[in-house]
Amino acid sequence: MSNRDGDVILACLKLARAMRRIPPERREYPFPPAVGRLLDCAAKNPGVSSRELCECLDVRPSSLSEMLSRAEAEGFITRTVDEADRRIQRIALSDKGQKAVNDMEAARNKEAQKMTSSLTEEEKEQFCALCDKLSAHMERLALDLPEDRRMPPPPPPGHPDFRPDRDGPRPPFPPGVRIKC
């Protein structure tokens, strides 16, 4: 390993520490973060089924049922029975839910713009490309490890041991999963 190899890893760790020191600019929403993720998923997948939401959010059906009931009571979503298969419930955002998603997205964009304002557009593209390349390489390295040496994935959001500051967002679903999370 050359000194530059170590510098790359240290730079990544330094950036991660610096990002944790900046508290997220959160508006006070009338729902917990898990419901915000539910609204995001419903916005990206109009007419999503309850089963698909369970997969996307990585929650148990009983937990999803509670989130859906709360979101529906607050007027953020509507539930309808699928005409082709009456066992399936379809979830869609209401106008109020779409406004909440738009507000959350605007707050996230504002925060991201503030955090990356020192970079040019070209530097942002280069940085993203390098991070994607390094992440893909690390994923391949992890798959090459024997099963007993692999790190377990972080607990899913909603799990009692999940900490957003430590565990971050969930990894993407494997290829072939059609739901957008």
Q: pLDDT digits over 36-85, tens only? A: 889 999 999 989 998 888 888 888 888 899 999 989 999 999 999 988 88
Adjacent-strand bridge partners of 49:
90
Q: Tell me, what CATH number does 69's domain have?
A: 1.10.10.10
Write the pLDDT tens digit of every residue in 74-113: 999 999 998 888 888 899 999 999 999 998 888 888 888 9
Residue 28 banded pLDDT, cuts 50, 70, 90: low
Q: Has residue 18 been placed in a domain?
A: no
Amino acid present at 172:
P
Closest C-alpha among 50, 51, 93, 49 to residue 74: 93
Q: Has residue 86 been placed in a domain?
A: yes
Give the count of domains, the chain: 1
Show Cβ contacts of residue 154 under 8 Å, excluding neighbours closer than 6 positions.
162, 166, 167, 168, 170
Task: Tell me if 34 sits within 8 A of 164, measured CB to CB.
Answer: no
Distances (CA, A) of 155 to 70, 117, 147, 170: 23, 32, 18, 9
**Residue-by-residue DSSP string for 19-31:** HHTS-------SS
Q: Has residue 158 been placed in a domain?
A: no
Q: Has residue 74 been placed in a domain?
A: yes
Q: Which helix (H) or strand (E) holds 37?
A: helix 33-44
Residue percentage of the chain with pLDDT more than 90: 31
Q: Has residue 141 been placed in a domain?
A: no
Q: Has residue 165 been placed in a domain?
A: no
Q: Which residue has the higher pLDDT, 153 or 70?
A: 70
Q: Has residue 179 been placed in a domain?
A: no
Q: Which domain holds residue 99?
A: 26-118
Distances (CA, A) of 80 to 59, 87, 110, 148, 181: 21, 11, 34, 45, 21
